[in-house]
Amino acid sequence: MRRRRLPSPAAGGLIGVVTSEAPVQSTLSAVDSRPALVLVSTPIGNLGDLSPRAVNALRDADIILCEDTRVTAPLLSLNGIGTRLQALHDHNEAGRAAPLVEAMLRGQKFALVSDAGAPLIADPGYRLVRAAIAAGLVISAVPGPNAAVMALALSGLPPHPFLFMGFLPPRSAARRRVLERITGAERAGLNATLIFYEAPHRLIDSLEDCASVLGDRAAAVGRELTKRFEEVQRGSLSVLVQHFQANAPRGEITLVIGPAPAHVVSADDLDAALDEAMGRLSIKDAATTVAQALGLPRKQAYARALILRQDEG
């Protein structure tokens, strides 16, 4: 998992949606025949984490597609895997997807790996997988190490729901816009633990922007996971800023931020907001508007609005 940003499959949004126009393919077929493409997870640091099943899948492939042959070749050599390598990365994937699918249709079997971790997860492979699905090919995967899931498990923060966002933008203005979209989604009812990948030289700036936009939430920074100097620092975002200002961050980094804290709304605040909203909106619309603004269930706001209207009568 080379730490760099890739184009999001769902540009401009928080959540990708596959439309009904996409061809339907059952993953059950993968157990009945040899898949044309197998997505194989590789170690994120500790080379002992390559599973026996992953080794078999890599040996069984005709060709292994990888981000950087110089990174993958030593891993294959260590495990006695002699399968031929071809480079597939974010700079050539768009142009290579169609020829690779044609090769699969002719009977060639491929395995796809990233430099570390799970393919497609902030790594190349999405375009190829979509093209293979569109061609009706059988695709399978060998699960394994993933930095986002491991950091979440070690963070001590609520494990579900969680929202994996990949890399934040490198510049502060764009980064803050992404964070503001998240707060907007939270006001609409999506409140989840957040997971980001980050480069060490940008970590402090990102922590500061997160604290400014999201508030000083509980968070954790996982560093060098599965490696010799594995470390997880936990604390509020402001505390983590202070820690990494005193201890320069190094290595591969995953940032986990807790969900927005429950917002306690007083009865007086609710009544005041409803009174103002009902002065210009219907009871139904006023309740919906106030519930969204205060982070309350709509039923609660609507029930109180009815009582206030009755009291006025």
- What mean pLDDT is predicted for residues 12-28? 39
Q: Which of 86, 114, 145 delimits the end of a domain? A: 145
Half-sphere exposure of 286 (CA within 13 A, CB side): 21
pLDDT band for 40, please (50, 70, 90 cuts). Answer: very high
pLDDT band for 313, please (50, 70, 90 cuts). Answer: low
- In a shared domain, residues 115 and 215: no
- pLDDT at residue 26, rounded to an integer: 43
The torsion region of residue 12 among left (phi > 0), alpha (psi -120 to 50) and beta comes to left
Say if residue 48's pLDDT is above 80: yes
Q: Which of 26, 55, 29 is nearest to 40 (CA)?
A: 55
- What mean pLDDT is predicted for residues 275-293? 89
Say if residue 8's pLDDT is above 80: no
How far apart are the C-alpha atoms of 302 and 313, rounded to whole Å?
Answer: 17
pTM: 0.75
- In a shared domain, residues 43 and 138: yes
- In a shared domain, residues 183 and 281: no
Q: Which of 145, 174, 206 delimits the end of a domain? A: 145
What is the residue type of 192?
A
Q: pLDDT tens-digit profile of 171-205? A: 999 999 999 999 888 878 888 999 999 999 999 99
- Has residue 2 been placed in a domain? no
If one compares 266 and 221, the residue with the highest pLDDT of the two is 221
Say if residue 100's pLDDT is above 50: yes
Main-chain phi, psi angles of 91, to 5 degrees: -85, -20
Surface-to-core class of residue 58, CB atoms within 10 Å of its CB (0-12 exposed, 13-18 middle, 19+ buried): buried
- pLDDT at residue 298, rounded to an integer: 81
If one compares 70 and 290, the residue with the highest pLDDT of the two is 70
The most confident of 29-38, 199-208, 303-312, by mean pLDDT = 199-208
- Has residue 18 been placed in a domain? no
- What mean pLDDT is predicted for residues 265-286? 90
CATH number at residue 76: 3.40.1010.10
Q: pLDDT tens-digit profile of 80-96? A: 999 999 999 999 999 99
CATH number at residue 208: 3.30.950.10
pLDDT band for 117, please (50, 70, 90 cuts). Answer: very high
- Has residue 52 been placed in a domain? yes
- In a shared domain, residues 33 and 59: yes
Say if residues 206 and 196 touch (Cβ distance below 8 Å). Answer: yes
How far apart are the C-alpha atoms of 112 and 35, rounded to whole Å?
Answer: 12
- In a shared domain, residues 56 and 122: yes
Residue span of the structural domain in which 169 resides: 148-257
Report the number of distinct structural domains present in the chain: 3
Q: pLDDT tens-digit profile of 221-237? A: 999 999 999 999 999 99
- Has residue 5 been placed in a domain? no
pLDDT band for 14, please (50, 70, 90 cuts). Answer: very low
pLDDT band for 146, please (50, 70, 90 cuts). Answer: very high
Q: Which of 145, 165, 191 delimits the end of a domain? A: 145
- Has residue 137 been placed in a domain? yes
How far apart are the C-alpha atoms of 269 and 286, rounded to whole Å?
Answer: 14
- What mean pLDDT is predicted for residues 232-244? 96
- Has residue 119 been placed in a domain? yes
- pLDDT at residue 33, rounded to an integer: 65
- Has residue 129 been placed in a domain? yes
* E-assigned strand segments in 43-101: 63-66, 84-87
- In a shared domain, residues 31 and 123: yes
Least confident of 19-23, 44-48, 138-142: 19-23
- In a shared domain, residues 184 and 74: no
- pLDDT at residue 141, rounded to an integer: 98
- pLDDT at residue 147, rounded to an integer: 96
Q: Which of 79, 42, 43, 45 is nearest to 59 (CA)?
A: 79
Longest dimension (CA), the chain: 83
What is the residue type of 182?
I
- Has residue 15 been placed in a domain? no
- In a shared domain, residues 185 and 91: no
Q: Which of 25, 6, 2 is nearest to 130 (CA)?
A: 25
- In a shared domain, residues 140 and 198: no
Helix (H) or strand (E) holding 173: helix 172-187
- In a shared domain, residues 164 and 233: yes
- pLDDT at residue 161, rounded to an integer: 95
- In a shared domain, residues 307 and 206: no
- pLDDT at residue 226, rounded to an integer: 96
- In a shared domain, residues 250 and 167: yes
Say if residue 15's pLDDT is above 80: no
